[in-house]
Amino acid sequence: MQATNASRAREADPASGRIQRSNSLVEDVYEAIFAQLMSLKIAPGSRITVDSLVKELEVSHTPIREALGRLEGEGLVLKTHLIGYRAAPQITRRRFDELYELRLLLEPHAAAKAAALMDETKLAVLEESAGGMARREGKDERLRYSNFARQDAIFHDRIMEFANNDLVRETLAFQHTHFHIFRLMFHSRVTEEALDEHQAILAAFAACDPAAAEQAMRRHIEHSRDRLLPAFD
Ligand SMILES: [Zn+2]
C-alpha cells in the first residue's frame, strides 16, 4: 500500500516543507500516469513508452521511471527485461469472480468486527475518508475518477485496520482490488452509487451495530460486483 500511505501522509501534513517539495515532481508524475491507467486512457495491456511520457508530461526520464517503478509495485504496470513497460492486462472474468468471492468472505465479517470496536476517533477517520470521495472538486473527470478509486481503497483498508486482523487486511491489500476493479470501466455510475452504500456502512458504524455493518458491507460489495459485471459482456 505504498501509494496509499504516501497520499495519506501528504493529506495529513499539507505543509510538510522540504520533503514534500523534493518529492512533488515524482508525486505529480505518478498521479498523472495513475489517472491515465485508472481512466483507461492508457489501455490495459498496452505498451507504455518512457519517451512518449517525457514528451507528454514535459519532464525528464528520471521521475517517469520512478513513478513507473512505484506503479509496478502496485501491480498496475509490468516491466519486461529488454522490452520495457506495459499496463497490466485487464483482470479476467474468473479473477473477478474470485476477487468478489474473497471480498464477500472477508469484508462483511470484518465490518461487523470493526462496528463492535468502533469509537469516535475511528468513526471520524472513516467519515473523513468517505467524505473525500463525495467531494466533486476539480474539472478533470479522469483525475476525479482515479482519486475516487484511491479513496475507496483507503476507506476499505481503514475498515480492515479497525477490524483488528492484520492478516485479513494484508490479504486484501495485496490484491490491490480497487485499482483493478476501477479499471474495468470508466463510468460515473461506478462512483455515484457507491456513495450511498458507503453512507449505509457509516450509519451502522455510528450506531456500533455489527449486524447492520455486516449487511451494509455485503450489500455494497454485491452491488459493486453487479455494477462492474457488464464490463465482461
Ligand atoms: Zn467502497
Query: What is the reported pTM?
Result: 0.81
Which pLDDT score is estimated for 76?
92
Q: Measured in angstroms, how far is the CA atom of residue 123 from the centroid of ligand 1? A: 16
Q: Which pLDDT value is given to residue 21?
A: 44
Cell numbers linked to 189? 455510475
* Contact between 3 and 37 (Cβ < 8 Å): no
State in Å: Cα 80 to ligand 1 middle: 33
Q: Which of 68, 47, 46 is nearest to 57 (CA)?
A: 68
Give residue-wise pLDDT tens across range 155-198.
999 999 999 999 999 999 988 888 888 888 877 777 888 999 99
> How far apart, in Å, are the Cα atoms of 205 and each of 114, 131, 152?
8, 15, 17
User: In this model, does residue 70 exceed pLDDT 90?
Assistant: yes
Per-residue pLDDT reduced to its tens digit, 38-62: 888 999 999 999 999 999 999 999 9
Query: Residue 80 forms beta bridges with which residues?
Result: 84
Rounded Cα distance, 213 and 203, in Å: 8
Which residues lie near ion ligand 1 (Cβ < 5 Å)?
A: 152
The per-residue pLDDT for 143 is 80
**Span from the CA of 116 to the centroid of ligand 1 (angstroms):** 20
**Ligand 1 geometric centre to CA of 194 (Å):** 6
Q: Is the pLDDT of residue 3 over 90?
A: no
